Amino acid sequence: MTQDNKKLLHFLTKNKNFNIKVSEPFNKLVIDFLNDFSNKLRKNKKIQLYPNLLYLMFWCSKKKFENLSKNYLGKNIKLGRGLVFHVCPSNVPTNFIYSFFFGILSGNSNIVKIPSKDFEEKKIIISTINFLFKNKKYSKIKNSNCFIQYKDNNETTKKISAVCDGRVLWGGDQTINEIRKFWIPERSIEITFPDRYSLSIINLKELKKLSFNEIKLLAKKFYYDGYSMNQLACNSPHFIFWIGKKNEKLQNYFWEEVSKFAKKNFIFDDIHVVDKYSNLIENIINQNEFKGLKTFKNFLYVINPSSKTNKIENIRGINGTFFQKNINEIKKLKKYITKKCQTISYFGFDNVYLKTFLLNNNLLGVDRVVPIGKALEIDIIWDGYDVINSLSRTISLE
């Protein structure tokens, strides 16, 4: 690192002790840090109001990472790559902290551009981190990592890009393309998490075997996946494929239950309704005539699109608007899966069956296949990357 670059980093991080440090992935200090982060969050009463913070709290548990580390650390030596620059979306309140954790867990120093919007979750996270940074034990982490906030300042993005060893980009396609114009050094790697599309599949044959209470539970899980992020996350489902012999009664029963959960749990502000109705009308204008449109008040809209509808990645709902289609076998799903497809959440299929489908259909999309209810969970295997392996170097030693 040249003297100039060092100065630049001190300036940008506002920390004259800032130094790039690398370590082995799942370093004990980092695991302790995450665990203390989790404990500190747990003590904050406010997090009860934020399911995403509760989830984050559990996500950081020590045990999980101690177990995970066993899969990663074998006979080869692994080390972080150096300085990782994370550009996180301004409209997802907790995304930046996962990106940061990916960075430190894989043994890197990090500069994390955090959302400009003042989400309450963001404030809680940052104050928790600052609290831990005061602890002498974590001064090494403090002096090799930095959270930075600035508005669309291309100069800053350009400067940090030019000195980073890895860049992690989250955001809409346009944003990512714009940031990608900024040069990163030859050896630097880049991981992009652009806009994606997600869908659900339900095996009707298996659904039929469920008791009403079990269907209710499935509907609850689906509600959680679909509504939690206002249906705006890239892993929120928009389309649901019913696979097997059509069973309208059962399907309607499922939707009925989803709408009940929405009624009980979703906070409908006036603007949510406006957004939802506007989105519905836009879908009407943009598409061929629907075969069916069922509204459960404004809690839930279910649309049977025209049978001519093939390209589904641009068909999106908001605040609980879902499109549905019946297909008789999973093979028919193939034509709907494009590169943009990220998560398939499923019910009623076993792993062997899904594996066969995924391996044998020449698929260019789909990076996650998870049971319904887990669509929003974030994992260190994300968007097709093993993030730990991607952000670290493997040194061969014979």
Partner 1 sequence: MNYVNKLYQEEPYSLNKKEKSKIFSSALAALTLHHYKNCEPYKKIIKNFKFNIKNNQKIKNFPMIPVRLFKKYDLKSVPSSKVIKKLVSSGTTGDQLSKIYLDKNNAKNQIRVLQKIMQSLIGKKRLPMLIIDQDPKLSDRSTFNARAAAIYGFSLFGTNYCYLLNKDNKIKYNALNNFLKKYGKNKFFIFGFTSIIFENLLKKFSGKSLNFNFKNGILLHGGGWKKLEKIKINNNIFKKKLFNKLQLKNVYNYYGLVEQTGSIFIECKCGYFSTSNFSDILIRDKHFNIAKNGKRGLIQLISLLPTSYPGHNILTEDIGEIIGEDTCKCGTKGKYFLVHGRAKEAEIRGCSDAR
Minimum distance from residue 298 beta carbon to partner 1 (Å): 5
User: Considering only residues 81, 196, 325, 340, which one is a binding residue for partner 1 as defined by CB under 8 A?
Assistant: 196
User: Considering only residues 233, 300, 372, 391, which one is a binding residue for partner 1 as defined by CB under 8 A?
Assistant: 233
CA angle (147, 148, 152) in 5-degree steps: 145
User: Considering only residues 269, 329, 350, 398, which one is a binding residue for partner 1 as defined by CB under 8 A?
Assistant: 269
Instruction: Name the pairing type of β-strands 77-80 and 392-395.
Output: antiparallel
Residues 274-293 that bind partner 1 (CB under 8 A): 274-275, 277-278, 281-282, 284-285, 289-290, 293
Minimum distance from residue 184 beta carbon to partner 1 (Å): 18
Minimum distance from residue 383 beta carbon to partner 1 (Å): 10
Residues 115-154 that bind partner 1 (CB under 8 A): 116-117, 119, 151-152
User: Considering only residues 230, 304, 326, 338, which one is a binding residue for partner 1 as defined by CB under 8 A?
Assistant: 230
Quick one: DSSP state of residue 34?
H
Cα-to-chain-centroid distance, residue 173: 15
Q: Which is nearer to partner 1, 33 or 193 (CB)?
A: 193
User: Considering only residues 19, 156, 175, 304, which one is a binding residue for partner 1 as defined by CB under 8 A?
Assistant: 175
Instruction: Name the pairing type of β-strands 300-304 and 292-296.
Output: antiparallel
Q: Which is nearer to partner 1, 176 or 189 (CB)?
A: 176
Minimum distance from residue 95 beta carbon to partner 1 (Å): 8
Residue from 228, 220, 256 nearest 319 by CA: 228
Q: What are phi and psi of 112, to 5 degrees?
A: -115, 115
156 is an interface residue for partner 1 by CB under 8 A: no
User: Considering only residues 53, 57, 97, 234, which one is a binding residue for partner 1 as defined by CB under 8 A?
Assistant: 234
Q: What are phi and psi of 273, to 5 degrees?
A: -70, -45
User: Considering only residues 82, 103, 166, 171, which one is a binding residue for partner 1 as defined by CB under 8 A?
Assistant: 171
Distances (CA, A) of 19 to 27, 63, 76, 130: 17, 29, 26, 18
Q: Which is nearer to partner 1, 116 or 130 (CB)?
A: 116
d(CA 315, CA 306): 12
Instruction: Name the pairing type of β-strands 321-327 and 237-243.
Output: parallel
Distances (CA, A) of 361 to 41, 184, 330, 332, 367: 44, 36, 11, 10, 14
Q: Which is nearer to partner 1, 135 or 153 (CB)?
A: 153
Residues 22-61 that bind partner 1 (CB under 8 A): none
Tokens matching residue 140: 């090494």
Q: Which is nearer to partner 1, 81 or 238 (CB)?
A: 238
Distances (CA, A) of 312 to 199, 200, 358: 10, 13, 19
Minimum distance from residue 348 beta carbon to partner 1 (Å): 28
Q: Which is nearer to partner 1, 76 or 174 (CB)?
A: 174
Residue from 121, 23, 51, 27 nearest 377 by CA: 51
Residue numbers at the binding site for partner 1 (CB under 8 A): 87-93, 95, 116-117, 119, 151-152, 170-172, 175-176, 193, 195-196, 229-230, 232-234, 236, 268-275, 277-278, 281-282, 284-285, 289-290, 293, 297-299
